[in-house]
Amino acid sequence: MNGETSRRNFLLSGLAIPVALNSNASFLPQAEKTKATAALTYRPLGKTGLKPTSVGFGCMNVSDKSVVERAADLGINYFDTARVYQQGNNERMVGAALKPKRKNLIIATKTMSQTKEEALQHIDTSLKELGMDYVDIWHLHMKDKPADLKDELLEAQQIAKKAGKVRFLGVSTHQLPAIVDAVIQKAAHFDVILTQYNFSMDAAAMDAAIGSAAKAGLGIIAMKTMMGGPRMAGRGAQGAALKKEGAMLAALKWVLKNPNVHTTIPGITDMDQIDEDMRAFAESFTDSDQKILTAHLREIRPLYCSMCYKCEGKCPKGLPVADVLRYLAYAEGYGEFQLGRQNFLSLPAETRNVRCTSCTECTIKCPNGVRVAQRLAVAQELFA
Ligand code: SF4
Ligand code: SF4
C-alpha cells in the first residue's frame, strides 16, 4: 500500500489472537482459525502528525463493549463515534471501553448542531460521556453544502480547540465533490475530512475530490466503506452468499487501494467483523474481489442510494429523497431503526406526511437504479 509510513509486526500468537488467512477463515469456528503474524499498517493523517491504522473502527452500531476493547487490543488505534449515535448512548460505551487505553488511541466524535451554543454544549456532553478530557478530532457532522459550514459552527470549533477540548477539527460529508473546494479554502481551519467513499460511487469524481483535499494537507477518513451497512449484504439468499464470499472485506480493500485515504471507519459490531476487517491490513484488492463487488452491486443497487444527490429538488412534493433513503439505510443496513425514525420524525410535517403510494407515477428516475418510490414507501410505512 502506498502512503504507509510504518509497519509493526503484531505477534498474534503471543497475544493468543487468531487472524484468518484464507478467504473463508473468518467463518470457521474459533479453534480452527489460523494463528499467524499480521502486520498493521499506518498512514499519516494529513498535516495532523497523527498516524492512524489504515483500518479504524466505526462505533456507530456496536453495543458490545468487549468488541471495542478487543479491536484496541489488536492494535486498531482509530475509533469514531458521534454525539447522536444510539440516542446519545454510544459515546458512553465507547468511553468505557477505551478510557483505560486512551493514551495510544485516536478518538473522534461529531456534532450535528446548527448553532454555536449547542455545539459547545455538545462537546462538553461528549467529553463527559466519553469520560475523557479531550478528543483528538471533533467533526461538524453531515455538512453537504458549502453553506452548511456556518461561521458560528467554525467559531465553536475554534473555542473548543483553544480550550484544549479537541486537538484537530474536522467535517463529515456525504457530498465531498460539492463541498471540497469550500473546505480547502478553509484549510487553515480544518485538519481532516470524513467522507463517504465506496465502490458504488462515481470513482473519478470522488478520487479527484479526495486527491485535491489530500494535496491541500487535509487528512482523509473514509466512512460508509461497506455501502449501506453490513446487513445490506445479508438480504436474501444471494446477499447471504455474497457476505460469505467476502463482499464486505472486498469493499474495504477497494477503499484502501486509494493512497490518499488515510484511515477508514468500517462499522464493526462483532468479533467476526474484527477478524474479517483485520485481513484488510495484509491483503491486496484482487480481480476476484472486483467480481464479488460487481455481483454485490447488482444485488443491492435497487435498494441502495449512494447519495449522489442527482435527484435533489426533483420530487414535486418536496421530498428530500436521498435523506429519507439514508434514514431507511440506518434501519435496514445498520440495524439502527431508532436513528432512522428519529431523523424521519425531524422532517417538517408536510414532508413527513407525503405518501409515495399516492403518486400514480414517480417523476424521479434514479440514474443508479434505485427503486425510489418503492423504497420511500417502505420508509414512510416504517417510520411515520
Ligand atoms: S436516489 Fe438515486 S439519484 Fe437520488 S441520491 Fe440516491 S442514488 Fe442519487
Ligand atoms: S413517488 Fe414519492 S418521490 Fe416520487 S414524485 Fe411521488 S412523492 Fe415524489
- What is this structure's pTM? 0.83
Residue 327 lies in a domain: yes
Q: Given this model, what pLDDT does residue 75 score?
A: 96
Residue 383 CA, ligand 2 centroid: distance in Å:
17
SS3 at position 39: strand
- Which of 312, 350, 354, 378 is the best mutation target for the ligand 2 pocket, counting ligand atoms within 8 Å of the beta carbon and taking the most? 354
Residue 304 lies in a domain: no
- Domain that residue 378 falls in: 321-383
Residue 201 CA, ligand 1 centroid: distance in Å:
11
Residues 288 and 335 in one domain: no
Last residue of one domain, picked from the residues 298, 329, 362: 298
Residue 306 lies in a domain: no
Residue 9 backbone dihedrals phi, psi, to 5 degrees: -75, 135
Q: Which numbered ligand comes closest to the C-alpha of 312? A: 1
Cβ(108) – ligand 1 distance below 6 Å: no
- Kindly report, residue by residue over 127-146, the tens digit of the pLDDT: 999 999 999 999 999 999 99
Report d(CA 352, CA 259) in Å as an integer.
41
Write the residue with the smallest CA distance to atom 2 of ligand 2.
Answer: 356
Residues 264 and 351 in one domain: no
Residues 50 and 164 in one domain: yes
- Which residues of the chain, if any, have pLDDT below 70? 1-38, 228-244
Last residue of one domain, picked from the residues 298, 329, 353: 298
Residue 356 lies in a domain: yes
For the stretch 118-135, what's the b/e string if a residue is b when 16 or more beta carbons lie within 10 angstroms of its beta carbon?
ebbebbeebbebbebebb
- Kindly report, residue by residue over 348-361, the tens digit of the pLDDT: 999 999 999 999 99
Residue 248 lies in a domain: yes
